């Protein structure tokens, strides 16, 4: 098995991505790996069809960077070498592209633990990443969901 030197963790500020961030920090610390935190600005959610609102996009980018910086700060407090990137596009595609272009050895993503029906209706970023990533993917559930499933 190849050594894991760079772990990419996707974050969006949700409880699911917070759990993924915590797990990625712990794993990076144990493996002595570098952590790369990625937050994706989904332009289709920020820009209305047929018009561009640069202020909205700028605000969304600033919010994404603040979320990613918070994870980087947590990692650094734990002694992990960490940096962040903000990408624009569809989240699943952008995460896979970031992992490829940055040479990640492992991708860590959160999941909301939705049912099969929920995934079919709503789509799933984590499912997209699992299906399309060229490197291993760790999918992390928030603690509350994991505890409920274990009962």
**Cα-atom radius of gyration of the chain, to the nearest Å?**
15
Residue 1 lies in a domain: no
The predicted model gives 113-127 an average pLDDT of 59
The domain tally of the chain equals 1
Phi, psi (rounded to 5 degrees) for 136: -60, 150
Is the model's pLDDT at 118 over the cut of 80?
Answer: no
Distance CA 61, CA 58 (A): 5
Q: Quick one: what percent of the chain has pLDDT higher than 90? A: 62
Check which CATH number belongs to the domain holding 143 and give it: 3.40.50.620
Predicted confidence band of residue 146 (pLDDT cuts 50, 70, 90): very low
Q: Could you report the per-residue pLDDT of 22-62, keeping only the tens digit for each?
A: 999 999 999 999 999 999 998 777 666 555 555 677 888 89
Taking a C-beta distance cutoff of 8 angstroms, is the pair 7, 34 a contact?
A: yes
Q: Could you report the per-residue pLDDT of 71-83, keeping only the tens digit for each?
A: 999 999 999 999 9
Query: Which residues constitute the domain of residue 28?
Result: 6-150
DSSP, residue by residue, the chain: -----EEEEE--SSHHHHHHHHHHHHHHHHHT-EEEEEEEE-HHHHS-TT---HHHHHHHHHHHHHHHHHHHHHHHHTT--EEEEEEES-HHHHHHHHHHHHT-SEEEEE-----HHHHHHH--HHHHHHHH-SS-EEEE--HHHHHHHH-
């Amino acid at each position: 098995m190849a050594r894991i030197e760079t772990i990419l963790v996707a974050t969006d500020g949700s409880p699911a991505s917070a759990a993924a961030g915590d797990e990625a920090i712990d794993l990076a610390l144990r493996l002595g790996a570098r952590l790369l935190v990625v937050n994706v600005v989904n332009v289709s959610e920020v820009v209305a069809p047929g018009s561009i609102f640069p202020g909205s996009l700028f605000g969304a980018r600033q919010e994404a960077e603040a979320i990613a910086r918070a994870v980087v700060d947590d990692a650094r407090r734990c002694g992990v070498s960490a940096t962040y990137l903000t990408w624009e596009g569809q989240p699943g595609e952008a995460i896979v592209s970031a992992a490829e272009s940055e040479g990640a050895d492992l991708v860590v993503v959160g999941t909301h633990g939705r049912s099969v029906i929920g995934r079919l209706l709503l789509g799933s970023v984590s499912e997209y990443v699992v299906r399309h990533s060229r490197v291993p993917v760790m999918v992390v559930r928030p603690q509350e969901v994991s505890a409920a499933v274990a009962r």
